[in-house]
Structure 1
Amino acid sequence: MQQPYLIQFDQIGSAVEGYIATTQYAEKLPFQVKRVFWTYNIPAGVVRGNHANKATQEVLVAVQGAIRVEAEWGKGQQVFLLNSPAIGLYIPPLCWTRLSFQDGAMAVCLTSTDFSEEDYIRDYQEFQTHVTKAFK
């Protein structure tokens, strides 16, 4: 079972002209992207995520503002602060996440699968059962 980790994307540009961050070089991503979605206008105090996926891998990028990500997987847990559009967080399958968005923050998420409700684990106790089975 994998654990989450940060990915540094290539940046092109300068402080004078601005920057472009790119995933042009596929080796930066640990999977082929099937779906892209973005999250924005999250009200203060709302926690997003609160789920894990059975098979889907994700890379989450705070393209604006900052996002605090609490990640928990079978062998540990860690808090990540995403506050640069040039850094993504790889989220493996069976990783429970809780996302807290700074006011005005916006996220883009790249995923390895198309959306399927059956892939989601939305109950924390069910997540713990899946993780326990994965380590047997």
Structure 2
Amino acid sequence: MPDYPAPHLLTFAQIGDAGIGYLSVSETATPSLPFAVQRVFWTYGTPDNILRGRHAHRATEHVLLAVAGSIVVTTESAIGELSVFRLESPHVGLYVPPNVWHTMQYAPGAVQLALASQPFMEEDYLRDYQGFREVWK
């Protein structure tokens, strides 16, 4: 199994200023994106009492961004390390490697953009928490 870094924040440059607005580009991420993007999707309109995610991936890596509003992402590594990240700026993303259980809770009006290293494959998902613990213990 390849060795992946732990979940961590990536900061994208903010090009522009408050008077004209900003543009952020993936080629200016620090550190750079650790994979070539194969899939892009976005989540919106999620009620704030709903916990989304609740899964891990066998092979897919993600970078999650709150392009509007704020999102609290909780991650759990295969060895049980818990981390909580608050995404609330569109120029800061969260890298989520494979083998990491993750959940997201959205503030009203939040929009999440996800960049993924793989196309959608249902067999890549570990949707049962106990199954996740068994596979990666």
> TM-score scaled to structure 2, two decimals?
0.92
Question: Which amino acid is the alignment partner of residue 131 of structure 2?
Answer: E
Partner of 1:90: 95
Unaligned runs of 5+ in 2: none
Contact 2:12–2:28 (CA under 8 A) maintained in structure 1: no
Match of 1:80 in 2: 85
- Count of paired positions: 132
Partner in structure 1 of residue 113 of structure 2: 108
**Partner Cα distance (1:74, 1:52) in 2:** 10
Query: 2-11 or 24-33: which moved more?
Result: 24-33
Structure 1: give runs of 5+ residues left out of the alignment. Answer: none
Deviation at 1:69, TM superposition (A): 0.4
Q: Residue in 2 aligned with 1:118?
A: 123
1:36 deviates by 0.3
Residue 43 of structure 1: how far off its partner (Å): 1.5
Of 46, 52, 57, the match for 2:50:
46
- Seq. identity, %: 45
List, as ranges, runs of 4+ consecutive aligned residues in structure 1 with deviation greater than 4 Å: none
RMSD: 1.2
Larger relative strand fraction: 1
For 2:23, the equivalent position in structure 1 comes to: 20
TM-score (norm 1): 0.93
